[in-house]
């Protein structure tokens, strides 16, 4: 049917590919969570009671409604004088979220967000604090972005780390003025969880003092090679790899071009100084291979 949006899965499933596509829209973890936050605004406007069933209400969690530990970040509203800031928080989550997701991939980023929601939610429940809004995620991911690019220039050329210190400092001072000391604890737990999670997933390698958490199973089993019998029962000379793909990466022009484009997009945001040593090396190697293919 003409004009009908198409739903599809990407043909290749690299870590930077989306979960699926709707038409030309790549639905990544960041896009999915952002969309749920926007939907929650409409739910709040239409039925505030239905909206409240996904917020973290400490007493309700203790009574057994455990799903609230995971759904509170996507529960956003336009109530009170904070309406515009809630919209800004959703926009900033999308911006910094996609930058972090580009670094660690959709699945690991989903696990990072789940970890922040669960650990911060448990802390809030223990402290008898009610939570909703993507704001905690937004602040935590901003700190992660700055930790990865501490010298990236922000407003008037001010280094990112100074902006982060001021931003988080203002947040803490505001909670302190309101007497919401428990929210200061929850905010700091969200930040620490986010930093530790992405460190364990391969980011923030400069933070040598912070040991990454070992995630996943042990070492992969070596690949076994099985001979393929020919038509007469003998060996055809070919082998079938059983137990995984070869560890040596196979580079294709499409793979190299995607890698170069991703790193160039990052340079446009944080500048050349914002790249890690490994990213500079990969950019140089991929560019050389592309030039050889063009000759």
CATH number for 7-200: choose from 3.30.930.10, 1.20.1540.10, 1.10.1060.10, 1.10.10.10.
1.20.1540.10
Q: Which two tokens stand for residue 184?
A: 């200061």
Give this prediction's pTM.
0.70
Task: Tell me the CA distances in angstroms from 275 to 142, 152, 265, one per residue in order.
Answer: 17, 10, 11
pLDDT of residue 108: 93
Question: What is the reported pLDDT for 212?
Answer: 84
Closest CA to 192 of 152, 154, 136, 151: 136
Strand pairing class (224-229; 20-22): unpaired
With contact defined as beta carbons under 8 Å apart, do 80 and 132 qualify? no
Phi/psi of residue 159, each to 5°? Answer: -60, 150
Tokens in use for 112?
Answer: 């990072």
Determine the pLDDT at residue 255. Answer: 66
Torsion from C-alpha of 205, 145, 36, 128, nearest 10 degrees:
80
CA atoms within 13 A on the CB side of 271: 10
Write the burial class of residue 246 (CB in 10 Å: 0-12 exposed, 13-18 middle, 19+ buried): exposed
Alpha helices in 29-159 (DSSP H): 29-46, 48-51, 58-62, 68-71, 83-104, 106-126, 135-148
Three-state secondary structure call for residue 250: coil
Single out the residue of 100, 113, 112, 107 nearest to residue 145, CA to CA: 100
* Pairing assessment for the beta strands 25-27 and 235-242 based on DSSP bridges: unpaired
So what's the pLDDT on residue 231?
A: 42
Mutual orientation of helices 83-104 and 181-200 as an angle, nearest 10°?
Answer: 20
Q: At 251, give phi and psi (nearest 5°).
A: -95, 135
Q: Are 104 and 129 in contact (CB under 8 A)?
A: no
| Tens-binned pLDDT, residue by residue, of the chain (295 aa) | 555 556 555 555 556 677 888 888 788 999 999 999 999 999 999 999 999 999 999 999 999 999 999 999 999 999 877 788 899 999 999 999 999 999 899 999 999 999 999 999 999 999 999 999 999 999 999 999 999 999 888 878 889 999 999 999 999 999 999 999 999 999 999 999 999 999 999 898 888 888 888 754 444 444 444 444 444 444 444 444 444 444 445 556 666 677 777 777 777 666 676 677 777 777 777 777 766 766 5
Name the 3-class secondary structure at 275: coil
73 and 117 Cβ atoms separated by less than 8 Å: yes
Q: Which residue has the tokens 């390698």?
A: 205
Tokens of 272: 């050349």
- Collapsed DSSP state (helix, strand, coil) of residue 28: coil
Residue spans per domain, the chain: 7-200, 253-294
């Amino acid at each position: 049917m003409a004009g009908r949006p198409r739903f599809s899965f990407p043909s290749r499933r690299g870590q930077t590919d989306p979960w699926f596509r709707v038409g030309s829209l790549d639905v990544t973890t960041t896009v999915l969570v952002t969309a749920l936050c926007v939907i929650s605004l409409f739910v709040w406007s239409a039925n505030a009671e239905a909206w409240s069933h996904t917020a973290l209400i400490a007493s309700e969690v203790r009574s057994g409604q455990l799903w609230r530990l995971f759904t509170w970040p996507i529960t956003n509203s336009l109530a009170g004088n904070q309406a515009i800031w809630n919209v800004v928080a959703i926009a900033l989550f999308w911006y910094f979220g996609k930058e972090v997701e580009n670094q660690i991939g959709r699945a690991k980023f989903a696990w990072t967000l789940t970890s922040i929601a669960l650990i911060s939610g448990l802390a809030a429940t223990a402290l008898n604090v009610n939570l909703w809004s993507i704001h905690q995620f937004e602040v935590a991911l901003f700190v992660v972005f700055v930790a990865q690019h501490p010298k990236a220039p922000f407003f008037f050329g001010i280094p990112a780390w100074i902006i982060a210190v001021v931003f988080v400092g203002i947040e803490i001072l505001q909670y302190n003025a309101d007497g919401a000391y428990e929210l200061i604890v929850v905010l700091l737990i969200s930040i620490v969880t986010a930093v530790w999670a992405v460190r364990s997933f391969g980011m923030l390698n400069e933070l040598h003092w912070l040991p990454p958490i070992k995630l996943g199973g042990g070492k992969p089993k070596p690949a076994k090679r099985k001979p393929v019998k020919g038509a007469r029962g003998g060996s055809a000379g070919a082998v079938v790899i059983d137990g995984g793909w070869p560890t040596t990466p196979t580079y294709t022009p499409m793979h190299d071009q995607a890698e170069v484009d991703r790193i160039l997009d990052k340079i446009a945001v944080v500048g050349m100084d914002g790249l890690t040593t490994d990213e500079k090396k990969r950019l140089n190697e991929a560019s050389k291979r592309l030039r050889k293919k063009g000759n």
